[in-house]
Amino acid sequence: MAGEAFDQATDRLVVDVWSDVMCPFCYMGDTLLAQALEKFPHASGVDVRYHSFLLMPQLSDDDAPVSPTDLLSAKHGLPREQAQAMNDQVTERARQIGLDYRLEQARAVGTRTAHQLSHFAATQGKQHEMVQRLFQAYFTEGLNVADHQVLGDLAADVGLDRDAALAALTSGQFADAVEADIEQARQYGIQGVPFFVFAGKYAVSGAQPVEAFLQALDTSWTETVGSPAAADSTSAGAGR
Amino acid sequence: MTSSNAIAESAPVVDVPAEKTPEAVDGGPAAPSPFELLATGESFGVCDVDGVCS
């Protein structure tokens, strides 16, 4: 059932990931997927594409940053202490895989612009580096990831042209791409993130242990790139 | 792991809907999906659209 996007490159396994910059399990999931790929023997044949998802669509990029703990407390009517305890559990989970979450200083904002930067980075072959830098900026450094100047700095940190990145954000060049991702997620019935799709066929919901990602990679690789049909197709193409 | 230039912008195109997702891994509400949801063990967690992460 692989779609047309995969028909164009049968020698590559594509992993599509829906996530949000402010999603704590997305950062963990991406890190765990990266760890799985380090163990996967065909990692050089895997492409990971990141798609936009808004966990807090009520937040505008122009809104003043708010504490995610306060936001969680207010939205669900929880005592602040309870929201803090939930965040502490998430922080501990992150620590277990080597991530340093400092949610007490995180600043929740609208993330549409940050997602646009991810799409810009994709055009430069730097999307994974950009996504990881955005996660770190939000979860560890307490930066405002809706601020254009901050985003420009983050782009430069991963080797992108700062001015070109800012121009793309200012012009809204990738705004439609972000909305298209969000709409695609809605059509696919994606109700939570991170959400991983392997080879356009197999889905994994949520951050998973490395072993689970490895299994998903193995299964999807075997059925697509590593299948006899794919090998025949590749050799036939090579002979032209 | 690489992030590809050529195919970075498009989401997977699914031409034939397959079986529907019976239930989200985190135990959340059933959601129609064109993908086969792989069974996994204990999930680290997932964040729902209502902003709750568990």
- pLDDT tens for chain A, residues 1 to 240: 333 333 446 789 999 999 999 999 999 999 999 999 999 999 999 999 999 999 999 898 889 999 999 988 988 899 999 999 999 999 999 999 999 999 999 999 999 999 999 999 999 999 999 999 999 999 999 999 999 999 999 999 999 999 999 999 999 999 999 999 999 999 999 999 999 999 999 999 999 999 999 999 999 999 998 887 766 655 444 333
Full-model pTM: 0.85
Selecting from A9, A76, A192 the residue whose C-beta is nearest the C-beta of B47 gives A192
Number of inter-chain CB pairs under 8 A, A vs B? 191
Beta strand segments in chain A, E:
13-19, 46-52, 192-193, 195-198, 202-205
How distant is the Cα of B19 from the closest Cα of chain A, in angstroms?
11
Q: Do B8 and A123 touch (CB under 8 A)?
A: yes
Q: Do B35 and A46 touch (CB under 8 A)?
A: no
3-state secondary structure of A222: helix
First to last CA, chain A: 27
* ipTM > 0.95 (yes/no): no
**Type of residue found at A229:** A
- Burial of B22 per CB tally in 10 Å (0-12, 13-18, 19+): exposed
How distant is the Cα of B49 from the closest Cα of chain A, in angstroms?
5
Q: Do B7 and A49 touch (CB under 8 A)?
A: yes
Q: Do A180 and B11 touch (CB under 8 A)?
A: yes
